[in-house]
Structure formats: C-alpha cells, structure tokens
Structure 1
Amino acid sequence: MNTHMEAYYQKRSDIYNHVRNASTYEKIAYSFLMACFTGIAAQIVIPLSWTPVPITLQSFAVMTAGIVLGRKYGVLSMILYCLLGLVIPWYSGMTGGLSVLMGATGGYFLGFIICAYFVGSISDKFPKSRKFIGMTGTLLIANFAAIYIPGLATLYLTMSSQGVSLSLSQLLMMGLVPFIFGDILKVLASSTFSKLVMPKEE
C-alpha cells in the first residue's frame, strides 16, 4: 500500500514539475487549453429570468486554471478566454463579442482574471495551501471577493446606465445570492481536485 501511495505522490509531482518547467510555448498552449476548458464550462448554463447573470460552471474552470497553471499562466488563460471570446462565441450560452464583454456581466470576466491571479499566487507561494482545507479557504475568498466585487459593481453601473436604480438587496439577488450554493459546491470540487492532483511540497 505504501509503495502504491509513494508511486502516486511521485507521479503527481512529476506531472506538476513537467507543467511548471515546460517551455514558454508549451505553457502558452496549456493556457489556451484552459481557456478552451473555460469556454466549454460556460456552455453548462442555467439562465435566470430576473437577471442577466446566468448560472454556469465557469468559476470552476477559473479556479482550476489558477491551481494548475499558477499565477502567470493562469491569468494568461483567462485573458485568452476573454479576448478570444470577442471572435469565438464561447461565453455563456454560445455568446461572444464586445457587447457581452463590456455589458452587464463584464465585471465577472475581470473577476475571472483577478481570481486566477489570486489563486495562482497562493498556490505558487505556499505549497501546503494546496491541501483541502487551505485551498478551500483560498478559493472561497477568490470566488466571493475577486469575482463578485467587480461583477456586482459592473452590474450595478450597467443597470444604472439603463435607468434602473437597484437597491443593495436587489443587486445581491441579481448578482450573488442565487449563485452561492452552486459556487460553494464548485469551491469544494476545486479543493478536492487540488488535494488529489497537486503536490504539497516543492
């Protein structure tokens, strides 16, 4: 049993080192693949009638990008996702274009980049944070602060520019409350991924 566990730990360390020590071109390719994964996750969508913000699996992909690729290339993957979405309809619900990126949900796209940066920074600097409990705490902050603060701010400003004045409770019901339970599940899934796949020592 110990031999099997040692082989497992060695294998995941080898994979991690291969990704982190890959050439620049390989890392860019990994970033592109993670951007594609985010685009796929964005198609698993549940629209809500009272808000332009849908329920999707995007944030799971975003957090995973930070965990796997680290700060620099996790951020690059989200920048690629946002920029390529201007020409590829892979935002939620097979949408794309500048109108979506700069629209009511635009702040969430910015939040994706910030989230990947935050998660990648913690994962890179503190290997032990990749354990389940540590990563869960990191991801809760990243998800509910890094993504939702710019997301809610942009949603409020966009609605205001359209002549709709939202109270705080209305804003939260449109841009945060319906997503809390699902986001907690995505955080737990990402933390489990980190625990199983990522080495805890450099």
Structure 2
Amino acid sequence: MGEKASELYCNATFRMCMDNFQSSRAFRIGSKYAFFKWRFESTFANKVVLALGFACLTGLLAQVRFYLPYTPVPVTGQIFAVLLSGVVLGKWYGGLSQSLYAGLGAAGIPWFNGLKGGMDILSGVTGGYIIGFIAASLIIGWFTDKYVRSRSFTGLFSLMLLGIAVIYLFGVIQLSIVLGVNAQRAFELGALPFISVDLYKALIIATIATALSPRTAYGSEIDTIK
C-alpha cells in the first residue's frame, strides 16, 4: 500500500512539474509574441521612444572600448545594441535608432566612443562604421520582420554575420579615404583585427536574439500563416 501511495505521489508531482513547465514556457512564448505584436501595432510616438532608447544604449556601449596597438579603430560594445536594434525594433525603427545615434552625436551629444561628439568624429576614421550601423540595423530588421524562419538561431547568426560585414564595408571604405590608403591596407587596419572577436560577439548576440524573438507571425511576415 505504501509503495502504491508513493508511486501515485511521484506521478502527481511529475505531472504538476510538467504542467508548471508548460505553463511557464507558454507564458514566455506569449510574452515575446505580445511585445512584438505591441511593437508592430504601436503608435509612432512609442516606436520613436524605443528607437531613442536603443540610440542611448548604443552610446552607452560605445564607452566599453579598448584599442589594439596596430589600428586606430577601437573595439567597442556598440555592436550588441546595433544588431539587436534591428531584431527588436524592425527595419525602420531599428534604422532610426542608429540614425538618431549618428545624427545626435554629430550634432554634439558626447556619446560616441570616448564621450565625444561632433561632425569631426562622423567624418573621421570611425565614422564609416557609425554609418554602417544604420545599414546593418535596417537589413537585419528587414529580414526578421519579413521571415519567421530568419528568427531561428541559424538564421539570426547568419544575419549577425551579414550585419557585421556591412559595418566593415562602410568602415573600411571611409577609413581608406580618411587615411589615404588602398583598400587592402584599410581592410588590414579596419576589419581583419576584429574578425575573430566579432565572431564570438555574433554568437552571443544571436543567442540573445533567439531568446527574444517569437517564432510565430505578429505582423507582415510572408512565410507563414498567422
């Protein structure tokens, strides 16, 4: 009798744990869907506030920096905010967040790396990367807005790599112009030293983005039925 009661107790406990797990999982999935659905349908003012928040986060992470001895371009934490802005805010408002970061920084707000601001930064050796932030966020947001399958870990990791490549492209072009060096030398100074660390960053960002992104349609996706 004691063994039977113990078995019933264990079965009941297991079912309760599984029910709690399923409820918790459903809540997490529902919460992610609810936020993205709210963001998609929200007012212009709310979306601008979100974009400004990501601009501020980009400026904050710009201060997390260090320099390598053989390049004028610093390693910073900005890329986390830049790439996630496309996922969280979508193409237009992700792009807007980085446009605000670039525009307000050029206007004098000291939130570029080293607590600097002004057009001289935007037109200097790191200015191309800042312009690249806008393009990278737009591209990532376009894919994640349109394709549910792009929100898998594999899809997001691929998008993070694409975003980084876009930032490199803009950064290296401007670096070549500002320093007066050829494309190969600009690549050696402005991209090659960062590739290995940016691969790790892409993995981390893709993991975060996968945890945040709903795998169901919430707006104008074209590869699934709502």
Q: TM-score range by the shorter chain?
A: over 0.9
Deviation at residue 166 of structure 1 after TM alignment:
4.4
Q: Please, which of 148, 154, 163 is the counterpart of residue 133 of structure 1?
A: 154
Three-state SS of the structure 2 residue aligned to 1:85 is helix
Residue 175 (structure 2) aligns with: 155
2:202 aligns with: 187
Alignment of 1:65-104 (within 5 A): 65-86=85-106, 87-104=108-125
**Aligned residue number for residue 2 of structure 1:** 22
Are the equivalent residues in 2 in contact too, given 1:100–1:106 (CA < 8 A)? yes
Post-superposition CA distance 1:171-197 (Å, at most 9, x none):
223101221122112211221112111
- Corresponding residue number in structure 2 for 1:61: 81
CA contact (8 A) 1:129 1:200 kept: no
Amino acid at match of 1:120: G
- Paired residues of 1:128 and 1:201 also in contact (CA < 8 A): no
TM-score normalised according to structure 2 size:
0.83
- Are 1:27 and 2:47 an aligned pair? yes
Tell me if structure 1 keeps the 8 A contact 2:173–2:186.
no
Distance 2:43 2:208 in 1: 24
Is the CA contact 2:125–2:174 (under 8 Å) kept in the aligned structure 1? yes
Distance across 2 between alignment mates of 1:97 and 1:30: 24
Query: Deviation string for 1:107-159 (max 9, x for gaps)?
Result: 11111011001000000000221111111011111211x11111101101111
Give the TM-score normalised by structure 1: 0.93
User: In structure 1, the residue corresponding to 2:135 is in which secondary structure?
Assistant: helix
Relative CO higher for 1 or 2, CA cutoff 8 Å, sep ≥ 6?
1
Q: Is the 8 A contact 2:173 2:183 kept in 1?
A: no
C-alpha distance in structure 2 between counterparts of 1:92 and 1:61, whole Å: 14
Whether 1:14 and 2:29 are equivalent positions in the alignment is: no
Identity %: 33
Q: Which runs of 5+ in 1 are unaligned?
A: none
Inter-partner Cα distance in structure 1 for 2:118 and 2:68: 21
Cα distance, 1:167 vs. partner?
Answer: 6.5
- More displaced 10-residue stretch of structure 1: 113-122 or 135-144: 135-144
Aligned pairs for 1:31-46 within 5 A? 31-46=51-66
